[in-house]
């Protein structure tokens, strides 16, 4: 197709030339001193055009000759720039290939090349990337002093960059610093690096993950819990992992309470979703019992007993076992909901044990005995709960002056140790 187009153009030029120059009626006379030369108009036009071409070629040749040193310098600078870029790519390849010694050398070579190259010397992002690669390689090689010094140089480089590029590069350096501090098990230094981030960068998922690890490292479980809640809202974890992590952090937070006032403050600071979690409420109730605040424990458990049918079986078991520990001094207002629970979930050992223990606490011996015997004989119940049921049955037997049955119950409880 291209050949056909060129052929058509040649014919067009031939037709135009024949039409314009075909008559050749013009005459040009050139006088020089005593000489006179007559030329046809067509020949004169061709000579003028040829002279112009020769003149332009001469000018271009002289210009090329004069600019040769400058172009040679640009060519050498281009070669150095390409060599620097190649060294940077090599450093990246070696770093991701886990050859950290080679990656550090390649990054250093790129920096050396950049020192004598104007295009690279003014490219702060190029220098920053080389320095971060070198610092990362030194971190992998466990050269902490060298890593920290290289990181400080990278931060100084970031301050000399344009505003937008400087902010991005500085954020990258601080996130890496926090990550490396966590690898060193240095929680305070990691938090210091994260606190230096602007609000937008601090809310990124990776920054929140690092903050969560740092909070757990410095043993600040409540702040770690709030951070984990943010990550869960951002869907940074699967629902199962998020729930497990949040419950674990709640447990750590509750264990840090040393009196009931502190425990109440922590409970009020929990997220609404945490306070509606039956497992969390059960952990809080158990901690309240340890701090001699059974009434608070029952207050936190009561909403779950009011909607026991909405809970899955493992949650019902958790609140039931927690109520067993918090039964001391329980009031009669609990009896209707416990009777309803025993009728609805008489096949679940934990619920049966909880109702039986509360009946025994309220000295309803006749109702308590059957339920406690059922719980004590249940193999699916925890040994501690079964042991408590046997001992409660022994106490009931002594109330009825049946020492033989009390002894058998005590033996059954001891057999579970």
Of the two residues 90 and 43, the one the predictor is more confident about is 90
pLDDT band at 381 (very low <50, low <70, confident <90, very high): confident
CA distances to 73, 182, 185 from 253, in Å? 66, 21, 21
Q: Are 83 and 126 in contact (CB under 8 A)?
A: no
Task: Report the share of the chain in percent with pLDDT over 90.
Answer: 17
Tokens at residue 388, please?
């408590």
Q: Are 84 and 120 in contact (CB under 8 A)?
A: yes
Q: What whole-number distance in Å separates Cα of residue 272 and Cα of residue 276?
A: 6
Please report the pLDDT score of residue 398 as a whole number. Answer: 85
Where is average pLDDT lowest: 10-14, 90-94, 96-100, 274-278? 10-14
Smallest Cα–Cα separation from 227: which of 243, 249, 244?
A: 249
Q: pLDDT tens for residues 145-155?
A: 999 898 888 88
pLDDT score of 90 more than 90: yes
Please report the pLDDT score of residue 119 as a whole number. Answer: 72
Please report the pLDDT score of residue 164 as a whole number. Answer: 52
pLDDT score of 13 more than 80: no
Please report the pLDDT score of residue 42 as a whole number. Answer: 74
**Top-ranked range on mean pLDDT: pick from 301-305, 368-372, 405-409:** 301-305
Smallest Cα–Cα separation from 211: which of 164, 233, 179?
A: 179
CB-based burial, 140-172: b 16+ in 10 Å, e otherwise: beebeebbbebbebbbebbeebeeeebeebbbb
* Average confidence score pLDDT of the chain: 85
Angle at 385 between CA 381 and CA 389, to 5 degrees: 110
Tokens at residue 251, please?
């447990």
Smallest Cα–Cα separation from 125: which of 23, 206, 133?
A: 133
Q: pLDDT tens for residues 195-223?
A: 888 888 888 888 999 999 999 888 888 88
Please report the pLDDT score of residue 334 as a whole number. Answer: 87
CA-based torsion, 84, 85, 88, 89: positive or negative: negative
Please report the pLDDT score of residue 161 as a whole number. Answer: 58
Q: pLDDT tens for residues 37-62?
A: 877 777 777 788 888 999 999 988 88
pLDDT score of 186 more than 80: yes
Q: What whole-number distance in Å separates Cα of residue 191 and Cα of residue 349?
A: 47
- Across the range 157-161, mean pLDDT stands at 69
**H or E stretch covering 40:** strand 35-40
Q: What whole-number distance in Å separates Cα of residue 375 and Cα of residue 355?
A: 10
Q: What whole-number distance in Å separates Cα of residue 356 and Cα of residue 305?
A: 15
Q: Are 154 and 128 in contact (CB under 8 A)?
A: yes
For 31, phi then psi, to 5°, come to: -110, 130
Q: Are 115 and 135 in contact (CB under 8 A)?
A: no
E-strand ranges in 143-185 read none
Of the two residues 160 and 5, the one the predictor is more confident about is 5
Of the two residues 417 and 107, the one the predictor is more confident about is 107
Q: Are 320 and 347 in contact (CB under 8 A)?
A: no
pLDDT score of 160 more than 70: no
By CB atoms closer than 10 A (0-12, 13-18, 19+), residue 15 is: exposed
Please report the pLDDT score of residue 52 as a whole number. Answer: 93
Please report the pLDDT score of residue 380 as a whole number. Answer: 82
Total number of residues shown for the chain: 417
pLDDT band at 166 (very low <50, low <70, confident <90, very high): low
């Amino acid at each position: 197709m291209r050949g056909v187009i060129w052929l058509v153009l040649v014919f067009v030029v031939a037709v135009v030339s024949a039409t314009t120059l075909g008559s050749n009626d013009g005459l040009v006379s050139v006088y020089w001193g005593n000489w006179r030369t007559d030329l046809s108009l067509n020949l004169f036009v061709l000579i003028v055009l040829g002279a112009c071409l020769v003149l332009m070629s001469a000018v271009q040749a002289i210009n090329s000759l004069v600019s040769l040193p400058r172009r040679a310098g640009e060519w050498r600078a281009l070669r150095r720039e390409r060599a620097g870029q190649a060294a940077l790519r090599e450093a990246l390849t070696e770093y991701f290939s886990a050859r950290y010694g080679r990656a550090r050398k390649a990054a250093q070579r790129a920096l050396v090349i950049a020192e004598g190259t104007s295009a690279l010397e003014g490219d702060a992002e190029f220098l920053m990337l080389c320095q971060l690669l070198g610092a990362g390689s030194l971190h992998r090689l466990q050269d902490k002093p060298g890593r920290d010094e290289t990181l400080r140089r990278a931060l100084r480089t970031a301050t000399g960059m344009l505003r937008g590029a400087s902010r991005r590069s500085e954020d990258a350096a601080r996130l890496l610093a926090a990550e490396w501090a966590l690898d060193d098990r240095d929680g305070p230094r990691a938090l210091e690096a994260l606190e230096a981030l602007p609000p937008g960068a601090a809310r990124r998922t990776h920054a929140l993950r690092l903050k969560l690890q740092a909070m757990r490292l410095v043993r600040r479980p409540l702040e770690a819990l709030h951070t984990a809640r943010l990550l869960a809202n951002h869907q940074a974890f699967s629902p199962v992992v998020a729930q497990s992590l949040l419950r674990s952090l709640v447990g750590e937070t509750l264990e840090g309470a040393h009196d009931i006032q502190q425990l109440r403050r922590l409970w009020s600071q929990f997220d609404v979703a945490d306070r509606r979690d039956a497992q969390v409420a059960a952990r809080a109730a158990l901690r309240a019992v340890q701090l001699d605040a059974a009434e608070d424990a029952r207050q936190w458990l009561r909403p779950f007993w009011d909607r026991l049918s909405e809970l899955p079986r493992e949650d019902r078991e958790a609140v039931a076992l927690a109520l067993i520990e918090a039964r001391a001094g329980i009031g009669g207002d609990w009896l209707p909901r416990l009777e309803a629970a025993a009728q609805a979930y008489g096949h679940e050992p934990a619920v049966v044990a909880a109702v039986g223990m509360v009946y025994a606490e309220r000295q309803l011996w006749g109702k308590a005995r059957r339920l406690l015997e059922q719980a004590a004989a249940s193999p699916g119940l925890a040994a501690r709960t079964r042991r408590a049921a046997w001992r409660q049955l022994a106490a009931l037997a002594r109330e009825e002056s049946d020492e033989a049955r009390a002894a058998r119950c005590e033996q059954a409880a001891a057999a579970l140790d």
